[in-house]
C-alpha cells in the first residue's frame, strides 16, 4: 500500500512538473516536487523504505532532467536516509521545524548534486545561487503547506467519521 501511495504521488508530481515546465520554462529550476515526495515518504523514519523511495525518485528525476543518469538517484538516496534519520531522532511537529527540515533537505540535496557533478562531469553546469536559494525556499514553503493541508484534511475526516458513527448509534 505504501508503494502505491508513493507511486501515485510521484506520478502526480511528474505530471505537475511537465505541465509547469510547459507553462513556464524556469519551473524545474524553482520547484522540486519529487523532492517533496521523497521527504514525505521518509518522514515516518523507515530507513529502507526511505532509501529505496529516494533511489526510485532520484532515477525519475534523472530521467526528467536529462543529465547524468544516477546523479539524482545517489543524492536522493542520501537525502531519504538523512530525512528518516532525522525523523527518528527529532520531534518534528511545529510548522517552523517542518519548514527547517524541508529547506535543509533541499539545501543538502543541492550541495550533494554540485559535489557529485564536480567529481563526475568534466564541465558541470551549476545552478546559479539565486535559483538554488529559490528552490530551497519553495521546497520549504510547499512542504509546510502540503503538511498543514494534510493535517487539516485528516482532522476533518476524523470529525466526520465520529459524527457519522454517533448518528448511526
Q: What is the pTM of this model?
A: 0.88
Q: How many whole angstroms from its chain centre is CA 32?
A: 7
In the DSSP assignment, the letter for residue 26 is T
Identify the pLDDT of residue 42.
Answer: 94
Convert the pLDDT of each residue in 5-49 to its tens digit: 999 999 999 999 999 999 998 898 899 999 999 999 999 889 999
Amino acid at each position: 500500500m505504501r508503494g502505491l501511495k508513493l507511486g501515485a504521488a510521484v506520478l502526480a508530481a511528474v505530471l505537475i512538473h511537465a505541465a509547469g515546465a510547459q507553462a513556464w520554462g524556469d519551473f524545474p529550476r524553482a520547484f522540486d516536487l519529487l523532492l517533496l515526495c521523497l521527504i514525505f515518504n521518509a518522514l515516518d523514519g523507515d530507513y529502507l523504505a526511505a532509501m529505496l523511495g529516494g533511489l526510485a525518485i532520484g532515477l525519475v528525476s534523472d530521467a526528467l532532467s536529462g543529465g547524468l543518469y544516477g546523479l539524482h538517484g545517489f543524492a536522493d538516496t542520501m537525502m531519504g536516509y538523512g530525512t528518516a534519520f532525522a525523523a527518528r531522532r527529532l520531534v518534528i511537529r511545529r510548522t517552523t521545524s517542518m519548514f527547517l527540515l524541508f529547506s535543509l533537505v533541499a539545501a543538502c540535496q543541492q550541495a550533494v548534486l554540485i559535489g557529485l557533478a564536480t567529481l563526475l562531469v568534466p564541465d558541470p553546469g551549476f545552478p546559479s545561487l539565486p535559483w538554488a536559494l529559490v528552490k530551497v525556499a519553495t521546497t520549504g514553503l510547499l512542504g509546510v503547506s502540503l503538511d498543514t493541508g494534510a493535517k487539516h484534511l485528516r482532522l476533518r475526516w476524523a470529525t466526520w467519521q465520529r459524527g457519522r458513527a454517533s448518528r448511526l448509534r
